[in-house]
Amino acid sequence: MSVKVSETLTVECETGNYHTFCPISCVSWLYQKIEDSFFLVVGTKTCGYFLQNALGVMIFAEPRYAMAELEEGDISAQLNDYEGLKRLCIRIKKDRDPSVIIWIGTCTTEIIKMDLEGMAPKLEWEIGIPILVARANGLDYAFTQGEDTVLAAMAHRCPEPEFSVSERKKTIQNVFTFHSIKKKELDEYANNPSLVLFGSLPSNVASQLNLELKRQSIKVSGWLPSQRYTDLPSLGDGVYVCGVNPFLSRTATTLIRRKKCELIGAPFPIGPDGTRAWIEKICPVFGVETQDLEEREERIWESLKDYLDLVRGKSVFFMGDNILEVSLARFLIRCGMIVHEIGIPYMDKRYQAAELLLLQDTCMKMCVPIPRIVEKPDNSNQIRRIRELQPDLAITGMAHANPLEARGISTKWSVEFTFAQIHGFANARDLLELVTRPLRRQKNLEDLDQTTLVIKKNKF
């Protein structure tokens, strides 16, 4: 291959005029994940309109979220914020009785400097429900970063690990358990310090990853977030943490600095290559040698063969809106695709260090140049570049998808990657299913074009 392989990785920065979802959209998946929560978005009609339309059908299913809609009196401080929020929260408590209320601060609460963090503890004490504050606003964050702000706030509420209690439990169990299997199981896990994974995943994807680590004799002691707020994992000195999604840099920082946890920097378990690299980073920390991992990855790749034939040699352009882009691009390069550009809203080089390294290695291995990474992209510039490059696939937001399709560029709606199950070995196929869908559709329609258009031409 005569392609010049660039060895260095550069991150460019553009104007930041790009389309993405507002970070308050995180309530749509978080309220489903955390079953006993209630999300209260403190904002204006604009926020409400966005949620109502973006969430579509979910809105009619009595969701556990609502808007605290600010009116003119709230903006001009004629009304008392504290009293207003108290009234709404008491009503929520009465109607839904959640275990936690999460206030989502928006652009408006930032601008009018509403002191949500100050009011929350007071109100929490007064009404007896924990109140968390997450500033998931469009002034500072993009789309998936909303989850990051919520999880960072939630990390503060995780209990300290009670070593003494668990030690005692263990000895008691040792005394009373004579059953050999149970003892063996205990021994298997006994020496490991605890490992907490962070990032919101559908519960069956979370248990798939748990199982994956269990195969390597590593026990996951908890997830942030857990299925219920009341089951938050213990965090503290000596607890190892590892992220499963690339947009959780604030959460990672909070866990390191405030909770004194040890962060395992690893690529993210997206695609079989990512999953293997993720496990390979975790295992040595616990002094475990990986077993059967390479073969397992091989088997997964083998099972993807039909899809790989479809994508090999095709080119992709990421416009960027959900920060999963680097991981997805790395996976697609490994699948044999050529990536023109990785647009990304925000690039935390430290948190994503291992992922970037794997991207570099993958490019070397596949003999392709390292794609340009464009932080805070400019959509109109990107569209110009797409026009020049004519990629086989553009991964982009819904605002541009139909217009690009109309111009003959196949597109995949990027938001689907946020909602689909893409983590771990078992979901690699689902991931490629998404990527290949426009390519397969195009293939089907090509045949259609030939037949129907020819007949039409003959007719007229």
Partner 1 sequence: MKLAYWMYAGPAHIGTLRVASSFKNVHAIMHAPLGDDYFNVMRSMLERERDFTAATTSIVDRHVLARGSQERVVDNILRKDREERPDLIILTPTCTSSILQEDLQNFVYRASIISDSNVIFADVDHYQVNEIQAADRTLEQIVRYYLDRCYRQEKLDQFLTNVPSVNIIGIFTLGFHNQHDCRELRRLLRDLDIGINQIIPEGGSVEDLENLPKAWFNLIPYREVGLMTAMYLNKEYGMPYISTAPMGAVDMAEWVRQIQKKVNTLALISSIKRVDYEHYIDGQTRFVSQAAWFSRSIDCQNLTGKETVVFGDATHAASITKILAREMGIRVSCSGTYCKHDAEWFKEQIQGFSDEILITDDHAEVGDMIAHVEPSAIFGTQMERHIGKRLNIPCGVISAPVHIQNFPLGYRPFLGYEGTNQIADLVYNSFALGMEDHLLDIFGGHDTKEVITKSLSTDTGLIWNPESRLELSKIPRFVREKVKRNTEKLARQKGIETITVEVMYAAKEVFNS
Is 107 marked within a binding site?
yes
Is 13 marked within a binding site?
no
Instruction: State the minimum distance, in angstroms, from the CB of residue 202 to partner 1.
Output: 8
Which tokens belong to 175? 């005394």
Q: Which is nearer to partner 1, 332 or 404 (CB)?
A: 404
SS3 of 243, please?
strand
C-alpha pair distances (Å), 77 with each of 70, 71, 82, 114, 147: 11, 10, 11, 10, 29
The footprint of partner 1 on this chain (CB under 8 A) covers a number of residues equal to: 75
Q: Which is nearer to partner 1, 23 or 274 (CB)?
A: 23
Q: For the chain, how big is the Rg over CA atoms in Å?
A: 24
* Footprint (CB under 8 A) of partner 1, residues 273-302: 300
CB burial string 64-74: b at 16+ within 10 A, e below:
bbbbbebeeeb
Q: Which is nearer to partner 1, 357 or 383 (CB)?
A: 383
Stretch that binds partner 1, among 64-72, 96-104, 118-126, 437-445 (CB under 8 A): 64-72
* 166 near partner 1, judged by CB under 8 A: no
Q: Give the residue, chosen from 26, 27, 30, 70, that forms a contact with partner 1 under the rule CB under 8 A.
A: 70
* Footprint (CB under 8 A) of partner 1, residues 196-255: 203-204, 207-208, 211
* Footprint (CB under 8 A) of partner 1, residues 131-150: 137-143
Cβ(81)–Cβ(56) below 8 Å: no
Q: Which residues lie closer than 8 Å to 181 by C-beta, 6 or more apart?
A: none
Instruction: State the minimum distance, in angstroms, from the CB of residue 403 to partner 1.
Output: 5
Cβ(355)–Cβ(267) below 8 Å: yes
Neighbours of 405 (CB within 10 A): 15
Q: Give the residue, chosen from 37, 38, 74, 218, that forms a contact with partner 1 under the rule CB under 8 A.
A: 74
* Footprint (CB under 8 A) of partner 1, residues 408-437: 425-426, 429-430
* 84 near partner 1, judged by CB under 8 A: yes
CA-wise closest residue to 64 among 85, 95, 23, 105: 95
* Footprint (CB under 8 A) of partner 1, residues 347-386: 379-380, 383
Q: Give the residue, chosen from 1, 406, 448, 455, that forms a contact with partner 1 under the rule CB under 8 A.
A: 406
Site string (95-114) toward partner 1, x via CB under 8 A: -----------xxx-xxx--
* Footprint (CB under 8 A) of partner 1, residues 41-60: 44-46, 48-50, 52-54, 56, 59-60
Q: Which is nearer to partner 1, 70 or 197 (CB)?
A: 70
Instruction: State the minimum distance, in angstroms, from the CB of residue 203 to partner 1.
Output: 5
Q: Give the C-alpha separation, 23 to 438, whole Å.
A: 27
Could you give the count of Cα atoms lying within 13 Å of 105 in the half-sphere of its Cβ?
Answer: 24
Cα torsion at 355, 357, 361, 366 (round to 10°)? 50
Instruction: State the minimum distance, in angstroms, from the CB of residue 181 to partner 1.
Output: 13
Q: Give the residue, chosen from 166, 177, 390, 402, that forms a contact with partner 1 under the rule CB under 8 A.
A: 402
* 66 near partner 1, judged by CB under 8 A: yes
CB burial string 11-46: b at 16+ within 10 A, e below:
eeebeeebebbbbbbbbbbbbbbbbebbbbbbbbee
What DSSP string describes 397-418? -HHHHHHHHHTT--EEETHHHH
What DSSP string describes 90-146? HHHHHHH--SEEEEEE-HHHHHTT--HHHHHHHHHHHHSS-EEEEE--TTT--TTHH
Q: Give the residue, chosen from 16, 159, 238, 284, that forms a contact with partner 1 under the rule CB under 8 A.
A: 16
Is 158 marked within a binding site?
no
Stretch that binds partner 1, among 66-74, 172-180, 247-255, 260-268 (CB under 8 A): 66-74
Cβ(316)–Cβ(395) below 8 Å: yes
Q: What are phi and psi of 69, to 5 degrees?
A: -80, 120
Q: Which is nearer to partner 1, 86 or 357 (CB)?
A: 86
Q: From the annotation, which residues make up the binding site for [4Fe-4S] cluster?
A: 22, 47, 107
